[in-house]
Amino acid sequence: MCCVHYQDENQDKCAPKGNCGSGFVEAECDGPADCLPGQICCGHWGQYNWYSEIVCAPDCPSSRQNPAFVMCAGAPNVCPPGTSCQDSHSLPDGFMVCRN
C-alpha cells in the first residue's frame, strides 16, 4: 500500500493496509493495472479537499456530494467519455486522473 502524505510528498511511504497513519491517504492503485480484471482504480475526494481513499472497485460513481475520479496511470483508455487522462494536481508524479 502506498501512503501519500497530504502536504509533503517527501513523507510518502509504503505500509500494510490500514497502517498509513494520520495525514496520509492510502493509495491501493494509480491505474487499472494495479487492480483485478474488471476493476478500475477510483480516487474518492474527501471533505478536506483531499482524497479520502484510492481503491480498486468495479466502478467509480461520482456525485456532487461525493466526488470520485477514475485514476488512469498507464491506461488513458479507461477515462469516461468527455474526460482525458491528465496529471493529478494534488498527488505526486505518476498519479494521473480522468478529468475534463
Amino acid in the structure at residue 57: A
Query: pTM (2 decimals)?
Result: 0.89
Domain boundary assignment for the chain: 28-99
Would strands 51-57 and 84-87 be described as parallel, antiparallel, or unpaired? unpaired
β-partners of residue 85 are 98
- Segment 14-48, tens digit of pLDDT: 999 899 998 899 999 999 999 999 999 999 998 77
Q: According to the model, what pLDDT value does residue 6 have?
A: 81
- Is the Cβ–Cβ distance between 97 and 69 less than 8 Å? yes
Q: According to the model, what pLDDT value does residue 61 have?
A: 93
Q: According to the model, what pLDDT value does residue 9 have?
A: 83
- Segment 49-79, tens digit of pLDDT: 789 999 999 999 999 888 999 999 999 999 9
- Segment 3-15, tens digit of pLDDT: 998 888 899 999 9
